[in-house]
Copies of this chain bind each other. A is one copy, B any other.
Amino acid sequence: MASLDRSLIAGLSVFEGIAAADLDRIVSQARSVRIAKDQPVFEQEQEAHSFFVLLDGHVRVVKSTPDGHEVTVRYISPGELMGIASALGRTTYPANAVAAADCVVLAWPSQLWPTFAASFPSFSANTYKVVGTRLQDAHTRVIEMSTEQVEQRVAHALLKLIKQSGKKTSEGILIDFPISRQDVAEITGTTLHTVSRLLSAWEDQGLVKSGRQRVVVVEPHKLLVIAEARAAKS
């Protein structure tokens, strides 16, 4: 591992509260892997041989149903953990992870987890905190799916995406990786057609600008109004 990586890594929230020396020991046992866009990071049902931290790029975590549907569970941004099945006593990955853009990840063999957890309590605590957040997020998703209409869900999804992976540009806030209508549909549980219609409508109102695999949110506030709308619609 290049020392360049170390300084970059020290700032990540996953490693908060870990002494520099410990961090070195942790990082020195990782291997750094480059993954090209659309290549898998890990796959559903596969043996969970490693856990990862994403250093650069974006990863989409997807579950496939027997009947061919694909549901996006979450997007992973730089700095986030993924594939931590081993911390939860699982031996296989529960979903597919695919690079949504070219990625660089740090990978540790899963069998190191017990040692890490015992030796570096902060690391373990940070990890479980992440798990807690994800459980929370998943429940929020369920609630959104249960109580909101498609328009609100798509608005929420875009807001979540710009919060997580937004990049300010002169036009507005860009979702910083290629994302298609189909992708948004798989996040929100709808169809690419409906997403397309919504984006077109919002584009007309000046809320967003979008193109091929590209979405820029121009008016986040107005989008938020739609997302939080109770009953009436404009």
Interface residues of A (CB under 8 A from B): 63, 65, 67, 69, 71, 73, 85, 87-90, 94-95, 125, 128-129, 131-132, 134-136, 138-139, 141-143, 145-147, 189, 230
Beyond A71-B143, A88-B135, 11 additional contacts (C-beta under 8 Å) are: A63-B143, A71-B146, A73-B139, A73-B142, A85-B132, A88-B128, A89-B125, A89-B129, A128-B131, A134-B135, A138-B138
Q: Pull 16 A–B residue pairs with CB atoms less than 8 Å apart, ordered by A.
A: A67-B147, A69-B147, A71-B142, A73-B139, A87-B128, A88-B129, A88-B135, A89-B128, A95-B139, A128-B128, A138-B138, A138-B139, A138-B141, A141-B142, A142-B145, A146-B189
Q: Least Cβ distance of A14 to chain B in Å? A: 13
In the bound complex, residues from chain B placing their C-beta under 8 Å from that of A131 are 88, 128, 131, 135
Complex interface: chain B residues within 8 A of A95 (CB): 139
Task: Contact check, A65 vs B147: say whether CB atoms are below 8 A apart.
Answer: yes
Q: Is the CB of B189 within 8 A of A63?
A: no
Q: Give the shortest distance, in Å, between A15 (CB) and chain B (any CB).
A: 15
Nearest CB of B to A59, in Å: 16
As for how many copies of this chain the complex holds, the number is 2
Contact residues in B for A145 (Cβ distance below 8 Å)? 142, 145-146, 189
A125 to B139, CA, bound (A): 23
A63 contacts B128, C-beta separation under 8 Å: no
**Which residue of the partner chain B has the closest CB to A230?**
B67
Are B142 and A142 in touch, CB under 8 angstroms? yes
Q: A147-B67, A147-B71, A230-B67 are in contact. Are A139 and B94 (CB under 8 A)?
A: yes
Q: Across the interface, do A88 and B132 meet the contact criterion of CB distance under 8 Å? A: yes
Minimal beta-carbon separation of A92 from chain B (angstroms): 11
Tell me which of B63, B73, B132, B142 contacts A90 (CB under 8 A).
B132
A112: min CB distance to chain B, Å:
16
Most chain B C-beta atoms within 10 Å of own C-beta, residue among A90, A125, A143: A143
The residue on B at minimum CB distance from A187 is B146
Q: CA of A141 to CA of B132 in the docked complex: distance in angstroms?
A: 17
Chain B residues whose CB sits within 8 angstroms of the CB of A132 once the complex forms: 85, 88-90
